[in-house]
Structure 1
């Protein structure tokens, strides 16, 4: 969202050219100047959730209002303000704006208007051009919802949106016609620039357009809105409209007839004239109907898209509020009708603009600054804090933490450490013997909250990937049909460090992956993407359950109502492991490398809770084709040791013979490493389509294979922008984050890639979301990701447990082996 705000003098209530001084007090990355010196513009960050957008917009308004308060200024979010002295106003000191004044004269001088622009991500520019045309007919009702400019130059214009009349005087406004491609659209823009009518592509002011600088479709039709919730409503509706057109294009439905521009212009005029208080032109059939009926019919038509994004309830609630209140234009006129003055109108607009309406509308408390623990908290993409204010779902947590205070939290950390020590919840660092140490698993005091709708998406998307990867494993160790059908090249398998001949000795109908761990991350927009698939020896289940037990013991004051209970996850794991065995009443064993293993706590804990035999390789024996662990026959061996360490040892050949005969199920099966190879990751969306006939539910990170010459050239050119990983790496080993690497580290990585390109992949850098982490005095933002689990038994099961991994301060690598920690993770049953 981009929101424009008028700057008014609180004494005279007139627009004043003081935006420049105000901008000096505002963050440059969030606020900018506009054509007129009486206007400032804010820019939200991109978001998936409307709740996040609403909180960001509220925080931005609060920021500009607080800056204005110290200057005796007021901030107004509306299309126009009634009190204006054009002679006192000047354009912003910008060479481009000065050229516009010279060329357009009156249009420039009278550009005393403010709008609200919505950007929706559409990556393909050809598609964006088509969507911009298709969506144009549906936009006029949104203008009616936003109408807030009845007064122009000290008089009632007779329109709900006089801003629209002023805006449409520019030569490049209105709806956009259909173009066959982005190239044709760009040529039109170039022709307009060459004609001299406009000076640059930024002067394309169509009601909706493919953005000139980002990969979005941008709506520019609406007035600025005094209430944040109306801006959020416009954003939710416009995104749903774009989604509907994208779905129609993707489904290759009947070619849509070209939208009649004359009707769209007429409908736009009608909305500007009437607002919500008269008839509008129904976009569906062109018939005039009462505004409320048009809006409700529009909502019904967008219901599939609004439900898909989880916005249906919020958008219908906000639309009901808007229709109940009527347009801002009408409310402004009511002030005058009841004997008020234009000064009263401005005062009311200033008051509404500065209110925390977004929170109030949904019954939540106003976000408040956690003054002690969050002092100097600086984070751009934080899950709990936005612009220094605690997000609403986290407020109950921080109320408890603030009440305890830093000193008490330090004392509680001592309670935590004692609990970890007594329970043996440790993680051994892989360091030289002289410095090796067994440390307590660092578990932070601040829980991480995963909303119910987010967890539902993750829980649906993870099994899909594991089902496809399981099918891939059966295929590549069998008929290799995916390779024969050219879904992926043969070298992906044949040259994979994880491909093992032992994998061909597993029965065709065996469950090769009983336990999978998927690492997902939330980017700054709130999108969940998969970072890695782990189908070899994924760890973390025991630690995630242990984190909850520790947290309940350490901070019993926190209200965990509505949060899923991770207890019982070990029982679900046991069911999945035993389901992999054809034996009647199978016995389960867990094989570990012993107490020196970094994750031995988890091995021991899971074995105890699953009633399984815990054994080291030296405790295994094979007699008469049967496998024994610590003297007890076992049918399923849950492998918590690298397969090479197990199968290359003395007992290895006999174990493989038992696997081939079917008297032993090895979980996870040998050779699974080919499925979580970093090179294969790029092809997982194709495998989902090939094996399942489905669209991926969770997104991949764009990945480049250095083995491919074209990809390698791009990687070497953009090394400082990408994340480089070894194809067989795990635990964060060998990872280089280009934007944080030194010149020497980049040079060394370049040499390694050139020497052995097949060993490396690179990915676009995902800016991991951050989370408040207590450092002994206050909170500091640390990068986090999330490891979820899928158990493959009779059917895929996602246990109610996930491990939040926390990177050390200043790092983006979250792995425990690299010094990372963890958090208690609250998975909500319903949205928070």
Structure 2
């Protein structure tokens, strides 16, 4: 008997109190006001289920979904309630669960306990008419490899228990804990399926056939094949798209059965892995392809490939044009999980996320219309911070990108020339390998919203205090070693260790200025990539980038509450003098014009009112440090900010006078403060970096607020063996490297480079670490009058004045670094540039 290919759907819908934006357990009251046909109770009193009539077309299904939602919304709104078609309500907590009072549900709660108590989830079930149950069983197994695509399109549950889970569909992981969730395993007929159900019921694990929660199954109450893998979808058109693809998959499989095409079953662990992958990343990640040995492929490519494969069937069903259009629209907008995270990133308020899903559920079917301000010439890529996959600017960037578009290519080229002329006129340069280069500043700023900046600030201040305590400890009592948190070999004698660091007073602040390098992955999450506690540079360039943009592109609309980067200078001065003797000056000790950061040394000294000194400009008289530069009256120095290109202990002036040794003697005696003291490199050693989450727990008794990149310590034999097999997939770095030197990005390296790096690691494993590759986010950059995407990272600066929990302050300034085209390395010494970073604080 051929499949009827009719359509139907069941939607589970959360009820939301629109005063608190939390779940409301008032389903029984609403159901009493709704017709029995089309509406029913679910296991939790916070949910109503709708059941459409049987229809033949996608348009008919859309009309049915809108009709049922409309009636429910009308009744709910009279009671002060909203309706949300999402896998999990963003503000749901475990305490919200209230059981619907029936004997069946009471028995389930008694038997399954926590599984039932955490069932605050809602799904979408699609039915396609397949009356022949033998055919339905065969089709169900043939289409199983494509189910992850449908899950990714539907994913709408990133938030659970009030926090971001890191999954696009946490509902899937909650749901799969049921004993009958997932795949059935190979079955030859409906009789075998019925026998499987009978065995499950006989075992007592499930009570009836309705509890066969397989990903796709013959319906327990209708002559249909039922899809059960999807999250509820707030936009009706996303549900219609899934129904269109599912029906086409059923028809494609039916044709294969009729033609006698052998079925190839995917092993259950691979099926489970593919479902997990879809739940984890949704449309922003990668999905496993349909091949015999599945490989991860960009989700958008998998969606388009599936629709192209189904094209003949979609044409037969009359759905081709509609499914293609709906799919492109879904890929442009992202799934609900993407939209929810974007809403949260703007304000940091889950209430706004709940409002979004309630509004989308209310209608229209297609969601709000796409804007007319799309950047049609821009090459959109996954993980772009400023431009959505629809080519529309994201809200934070809409004013700026709109202003740039209005200027037009010719005027933008003129501004690029003006930018370069400004940089040359103001000496905005750096030195690398003995050659001076212009410091490249892009004219498209980066915007960091108030909530996002507050999160970064909190996490980095926590990290800064923990690292300062670590430095004080390792050059003092070394409790961290005695208590087994770190082995002595990771600290004493490590590349950044300096014995002279133990000479400083026990209460000396060692890392007055810390630079943190952060990256944002394509999933939108921030991670700390590196800690820089020796002489982090870039702050003066961040100030200069704002000055440049103000001069060259003054008409770009600035957001309200934009922080002024030049305020950094006063903060730096205050931090440097926090422990200096009253009446003394702070001096910046530089290696002079030959230093790669000479521009910054001059700018910091001028902006913060510091004495700019070389080795020959400082002397120690009667145990006190004095600045004795020519044509300047001697001044007593209370703090020396070390920005030299050599170890302080080795520093001599032009006559051979051991200036560094003299300064160390004065610091040991407590008459001068050394800002960014000798030996700080032990704390930004890549091997210690891996342990920073443990150091935060050890010194502060807290969990880390900002994640970091998974890192492998190659001195460990087990980790080394695993890394040697994956050198071509990972990023490998010297433990004491900086400025991008020695970094190899495995996927971008040649086969010969991978072989050479593997040999280097094997020969001296203690010198190397490996990290998982983070696919960096991107931002538009202006190149020859056009906007093009470039990978970026972020350097943020903290000032430390002690080891108290609030003795670190992140400056409201940051330097966005931009990688060259096709590159992930952002360092200026490696060809990278920078952006003005707009930090919104008020």
C-alpha deviations, 1:585-604, integer Å up to 9, x for none? 22110111111212111110
2:401 aligned to which of 398, 401, 408: 398
1:534–1:119: structure 2 CA closer, same or farther, 3 Å change rule? farther
Q: Is it true that 1:508 corresponds to 2:510 in the alignment?
A: no
Partner of 1:369: 374
Q: Is it true that 1:454 corresponds to 2:452 in the alignment?
A: yes
C-alpha deviations, 1:31-63, integer Å up to 9, x for none? xxxx98999xxxxxxxxxxxxxxxxxxxxxxxx
Partner of 1:312: 350
Instruction: Point out the more displaced range, 711-720 or 785-794.
Output: 785-794
The Cα of 1:184 is off from its aligned counterpart by: 9.6
Q: Is it true that 1:422 corresponds to 2:460 in the alignment?
A: no
Equivalent positions of 1:333-732 (< 5 A) are 352-356=364-368, 366=371, 368-371=373-376, 374-375=377-378, 377-387=379-389, 388-431=391-434, 436=435, 438-562=436-560, 563-581=562-580, 583-629=581-627, 630=629, 631-644=634-647, 647-649=650-652, 650-732=658-740
User: 1:823 & 1:628 partners in 2: Cα distance?
Assistant: 38
The answer as to whether partners of 1:732 and 1:818 remain within 8 angstroms in 2 is yes
Equivalent positions of 1:200-215 (< 5 A) are 204-205=214-215
The answer as to whether partners of 1:79 and 1:224 remain within 8 angstroms in 2 is no
User: 1:643 & 1:442 partners in 2: Cα distance?
Assistant: 27
The Cα of 1:566 is off from its aligned counterpart by: 1.3
User: 1:85 & 1:738 partners in 2: Cα distance?
Assistant: 49
C-alpha deviations, 1:454-496, integer Å up to 9, x for none? 1111000001111111111111111111111111111110241
User: 2:639 & 2:595 partners in 1: Cα distance?
Assistant: 21
The Cα of 1:410 is off from its aligned counterpart by: 1.2
User: 1:394 & 1:548 partners in 2: Cα distance?
Assistant: 17
The answer as to whether partners of 1:590 and 1:612 remain within 8 angstroms in 2 is yes
C-alpha deviations, 1:89-127, integer Å up to 9, x for none? xxxxxxxxxxxxxxxxxxxxxxxxxx986899xxxxxxx
The answer as to whether partners of 1:119 and 1:219 remain within 8 angstroms in 2 is no
Equivalent positions of 1:130-209 (< 5 A) are 134=114, 137=117, 142=122, 204-205=214-215
Alpha-carbon RMSD across the aligned residues, in angstroms, is: 4.3
User: 2:607 & 2:590 partners in 1: Cα distance?
Assistant: 16
1:141–1:524: structure 2 CA closer, same or farther, 3 Å change rule? closer
The answer as to whether partners of 1:206 and 1:220 remain within 8 angstroms in 2 is no
1:322–1:609: structure 2 CA closer, same or farther, 3 Å change rule? closer
C-alpha deviations, 1:112-153, integer Å up to 9, x for none? xxx986899xxxxxxxxx9x984655657846xx89x9x999
1:413–1:490: structure 2 CA closer, same or farther, 3 Å change rule? same
2:749 aligned to which of 741, 747, 752: 741
SS at match of 1:560: coil
SS at match of 2:584: coil
User: 1:38 & 1:408 partners in 2: Cα distance?
Assistant: 55
The answer as to whether partners of 1:587 and 1:635 remain within 8 angstroms in 2 is yes
The answer as to whether partners of 2:88 and 2:121 remain within 8 angstroms in 1 is no
C-alpha deviations, 1:409-443, integer Å up to 9, x for none? 11112221222122211111225xxxx2x222100
User: 2:193 & 2:829 partners in 1: Cα distance?
Assistant: 58
User: 2:175 & 2:761 partners in 1: Cα distance?
Assistant: 36
C-alpha deviations, 1:630-673, integer Å up to 9, x for none? 24321101111135166443212111111100111111111000
Instruction: Point out the more displaced range, 591-600 or 536-545.
Output: 591-600
C-alpha deviations, 1:380-419, integer Å up to 9, x for none? 2111122233222211111110111111111112221222
1:819–1:79: structure 2 CA closer, same or farther, 3 Å change rule? farther
User: 1:228 & 1:192 partners in 2: Cα distance?
Assistant: 29
Partner of 1:811: 823
The answer as to whether partners of 1:447 and 1:825 remain within 8 angstroms in 2 is yes
Partner of 2:232: 222
SS at match of 1:804: strand
TM-score by length of 2: 0.62
The answer as to whether partners of 1:647 and 1:656 remain within 8 angstroms in 2 is no
The Cα of 1:818 is off from its aligned counterpart by: 1.0
The Cα of 1:80 is off from its aligned counterpart by: 6.4
C-alpha deviations, 1:139-174, integer Å up to 9, x for none? 57846xx89x9x999xxxxxxxxxxxxx9xx999xx
Q: Is it true that 1:786 corresponds to 2:794 in the alignment?
A: yes
Partner of 1:764: 772
SS at match of 1:573: helix
The answer as to whether partners of 2:6 and 2:128 remain within 8 angstroms in 1 is no
The answer as to whether partners of 1:367 and 1:390 remain within 8 angstroms in 2 is no
The Cα of 1:187 is off from its aligned counterpart by: 10
User: 1:538 & 1:38 partners in 2: Cα distance?
Assistant: 62
User: 1:447 & 1:701 partners in 2: Cα distance?
Assistant: 26
C-alpha deviations, 1:188-207, integer Å up to 9, x for none? 9688658985799x993299
Partner of 2:295: none
SS at match of 2:647: helix
Partner of 1:801: 813
The Cα of 1:824 is off from its aligned counterpart by: 0.5
User: 1:827 & 1:36 partners in 2: Cα distance?
Assistant: 55
Tell me, which stretches of 5 or more residues in structure 2 are unaligned? Answer: 9-49, 59-84, 91-108, 130-139, 148-172, 197-211, 218-227, 242-278, 281-343, 653-657
Instruction: Point out the more displaced range, 683-692 or 598-607.
Output: 598-607
